[in-house]
A and B are shown apart, each in its own frame.
Chain A
Amino acid sequence: MTPPLWNVPPRYDLDSLLETSRLLVGSLDADFILDNLLRIAMAKVLTSRGVILLRQSANRFRVARARGIPDWSPGAELELPEAWPPKDGRLHLPESLRKRGLVSCFLLRSGQGLLGLLGLGPKATGEPYSSYEAQYIEALANITAMGLENAFAVNRLREMNRTLDRRVHELETLLDLSRALNSTLDREVLLKRIGYTLMGQLLVARFAILFRPPNRPTTVLLERGLAQALSAELIPESWLQEPRPRRIDPDSALAAWGLEWMVPIWLSDGPRGVLLLGSRATGDPFEEQEIRFLEAAAQLAGIALENTYLFEAHLEKQRLEEELHIARRIQQGLLPRTIPDIPGCELAAYLHPVRPVGGDYYDVLPLEGGRFLLAVADVTGKGVPAALLMANLQAMLHVLAPIPMSLEEATARINRIICHNTDPGTFITFFWGILNPAERTLQYVNAGHVPPLLVRANGDIEELTTGGLLLGVMAETGAYESRTIQLRTGDTLLLYTDGLTETCDPQGNCYDEDRLRATLSRLRHVPASLLIEALLSDVRAFSGKEDFDDDLTLLVLRLL
């Protein structure tokens, strides 16, 4: 039906349309625009029903505003037919709107395309819409669509800004965390800072950190808000191998602790722990970006925690080194400070432990009657255990020396004490003798020690082998034997430990006894201290190294 010519909007309607449009287009508040569009349109045609649908995707729509329609409330979604809106320009009412008592619909169209539609019910009077009413609402819908488009664009921008603000804040949080973690090596302080950061950034009240420190088992370093205490055994080893964060299976045992997410802590050498988290206090799930934040925070925490353990290990090592340094001074104090002058003799000694302390020992002690006790010993093993036993032996020697007792009996006593004091497998090879400078004799016992070499003035070499089993093997080993030898001018006696004959050249050949005998016989006229120098340089030349691989002791006696 063609509308009659006089059925056009009156002047005041045009003014109000203009004013309303200004109001709506000028607002950037989508809610305000939607509320007013529906209210004004319904008032214009005097209807009690109206709806604004906003387009979600191709033909999916969401109810944005609805009045007077019982089963539609804002938020409801519906689909309109594929072919809607029709391209032919003739707008017919979709069936789903007609069913709900709506009689007319108007498109909300902007430059971006279709934004939605406005549906209206019948006039209260029951008359059809007049042509100018329809035109008025169509014009209102068109103008409002522009305003809506602007408001949506502003909303999108605001949302983007907020997302950006969040990202910036996440970065600031990571920066704050890394600064805070780098400024302390106190693990308790570190864990607190990590906890506060997690609570503040993600609003979580429940979380735990499991960490495997270097060379130690995995432990629970931090837990908060958990219903029951967590133990490291609850975490399957396979979890530690997970490279990426994952949601904890609601059926798994850990879900009972209220934990929902697992974030791995990986260091350069592989998996080292996990960060476990419960839900956010507001109930919102974690976003993808937040999971990435957690990954980064877990790494920072892992590195900082690792550093605290490395620092502790470093301190411990320093402490041990200091102790060893002191032990070395003590052990050096157990050796003779000066070699006593012995009439008619020349005596020189050398002792070199490869570690700060060692198991080699020598001694020269004056005895009554102008006699002297000479001793050399080698405790099995190296380092502190050997040094302790060496100190023990030194003490026994000094206690026994003034007591009138035969060398054999004293050796047997020392052996018994060593046997009782040590584990099987700990031995001492020991050589000692009493030098009588007036009579030029040496009475000795060799308890399993490498035989000292006596080089006679004419170059003949004798080995001093008489004695018995090395100390510490059997408490009742039978008697130790002693032997007395006569010394003469020009004789040289070398007491040594096997560090000498076990020094090897780069090919693995050792500085064996044949070589030693040859060297000694070549050097037999050299004064004692020079002989030691010459022997050491010969051994160094042989091995090609400045340092020795084993503890090494030399004691040289020359008869003048």
Chain B
Amino acid sequence: MSQFSVSFRQHNGVDILELRGELDAHTASELEAAFERLLQEGRCRVVINCAELSYISSAGLGVFMAYVEEMRSRGGDIKFCHMSPKIYNIFDLLGFPLLYDILPTETEAIARFSSHAQTSQSE
């Protein structure tokens, strides 16, 4: 049985989800529950920290696809950081870098949200 867990943190109004272990069709429901919780609380700026993510299957990626539109329609987004080359390779193979911001560090990912916010304020 694959092991997977999600933990939550907050920083400057951005929710940081740390994924740990193997995210596959079996464990996708845990991530789904995490997103449902965020939506219920009206939180839509999410950074996914992949540092401890050891494997991701297509079903796992599908959860991001399922929630990103909702997050974006509420003015938020899902951004990724700290991806190992192995994890990045899977994202890349399927074409995810075209649809998502993938940044080296958590700080950069969070900063991306605030720069967007400033842009939209100045507009």
Number of residues from B at the complex interface, CB < 8 A: 25
B120 to chain A, nearest CB (A): 23
Number of A-B residue pairs at CB separation under 8 A: 89
Contacts of B24 in A (CB 8 A): 176, 179-180
Give the segment of B11-19, B37-45, B59-67 that binds chain A: B59-67
Chain B positions within 8 Å of A177 at CB level: 25, 59
Q: A525 within 8 Å of B by Cβ?
A: no
Interface string of B50-81 (1 = CB under 8 A from A): 00000001111111111001000000000000
Selecting from A111-119, A161-169, A327-335, the interface stretch reads A161-169
Q: Does A205 contact B (CB under 8 A)?
A: yes
A200-B59, A200-B65, A203-B99 are known contacts. Are A169 and B93 too (CB-CB below 8 A)?
yes
Minimum CB distance partner of A190 in chain B: B25
CB neighbors of B among A331-354 (8 A): none
Please tell me which stretch of A89-97, A191-199, A485-493 contacts chain B, meaning at least 4 of its Cβ atoms lie within 8 angstroms of it: A191-199
Residue of B nearest to A168 (CB): B93
Instruction: Determine the chain B residues whose CB is within 8 A of the CB of A224 once the complex forms.
Output: 66
Q: Which residues of chain A are near B57, meaning CB under 8 Å?
A: 172-173, 176, 197, 200
In the complex, are the beta carbons of B95 and A284 less than 8 A apart? yes
Q: Would you call A201 and B98 a contact (CB within 8 A)?
A: no
A201–B96 Cα gap in the complex (Å)?
A: 10
Query: Given A192-B32, A196-B66, A201-B58, does the pair A176, B94 have CB atoms closer than 8 Å?
Result: no
Q: B-facing mask of A174-195, CB < 8 A → 1, else 0?
A: 0011011101000001001101
Shortest Cβ distance from residue A533 to the other chain B in the assembled complex, whole angstroms: 60
| Residues in chain A near residue B26, CB distance under 8 A | 176, 179-180, 183, 193
| B 75-107 to A, binary, CB cutoff 8 A, 1 in contact else 0 | 000000000000001100111101100000000
B residues less than 8 Å from A162 (CB atoms): 93
Task: Give the nearest-CB partner of A196 in chain B.
Answer: B62
Q: Determine whether the beta carbon of B90 is less than 8 Å from that of A193.
A: no
Contact status of A179 and B65, CB under 8 A, knowing A196-B59, A203-B94: no
Asked if B29 lies at the interface with its beta carbon under 8 angstroms from chain A, I say yes
List residues of chain B with CB within 8 A of the CB of A180. 24-26, 59
Q: Report the interface size for chain A: residues with CB under 8 A from the other chain.
A: 29
Q: How far is the CA of A284 from the CA of B59 in the complex (A)?
A: 20
- Chain B proximity of A424: nearest CB distance (Å): 56
> A367 an interface residue at 8 Å Cβ cutoff?
no
Q: Which residues of B contact A203 (CB under 8 A)?
A: 65, 94-96, 99
- Is A256 on the interface with B (CB-CB < 8 A)? no
Q: Which residue of A lies closest to B66 (CB)?
A: A199
Q: Which residues of B contact A284 (CB under 8 A)?
A: 95
Name the CB-closest residue of B to A224. Answer: B66
A281 within 8 A of B: yes
Report the minimum CB–CB distance from A297 to chain B (whole Å): 10
Complex Cα–Cα for A466 and B96 (A): 90
Contact B59 A166 (CB under 8 A): no
CA distance A280 to B98 in the complex (A): 12
- With a cutoff of 8 Å between Cβ atoms, the chain B residues found around residue A173 in the complex are 57-59
Alpha-carbon distance A193/B30, docked complex (angstroms): 12
B28 CB–A CB distance under 8 Å: yes
Q: A173-B57, A176-B24, A282-B99 are in contact. Are A200 and B62 (CB under 8 A)?
A: yes
Q: How far is the CB of B94 from chain A (nearest CB, A)?
A: 7
CA distance A489 to B116 in the complex (A): 110
**A176-B24, A203-B99 given; A169·B94 CB < 8 A:** yes
User: Contact between B29 and A192 (Cβ–Cβ < 8 Å)?
Assistant: yes
Does B89 contact A165, Cβ atoms closer than 8 Å? Answer: yes
Task: Supply 16 further A-B pairs (C-beta < 8 A) apart from A169-B58, A201-B61.
Answer: A162-B93, A165-B93, A176-B24, A176-B26, A181-B25, A192-B29, A192-B32, A193-B26, A196-B28, A197-B59, A199-B62, A199-B66, A200-B58, A200-B59, A203-B65, A203-B95
A-B contact pairs, 5 of them (CB 8 A): A176-B57, A179-B25, A196-B63, A200-B61, A282-B99
| Residue ranges of B at the interface with A (Cβ–Cβ < 8 Å) | 24-26, 28-29, 32, 57-66, 69, 89-90, 93-96, 98-99
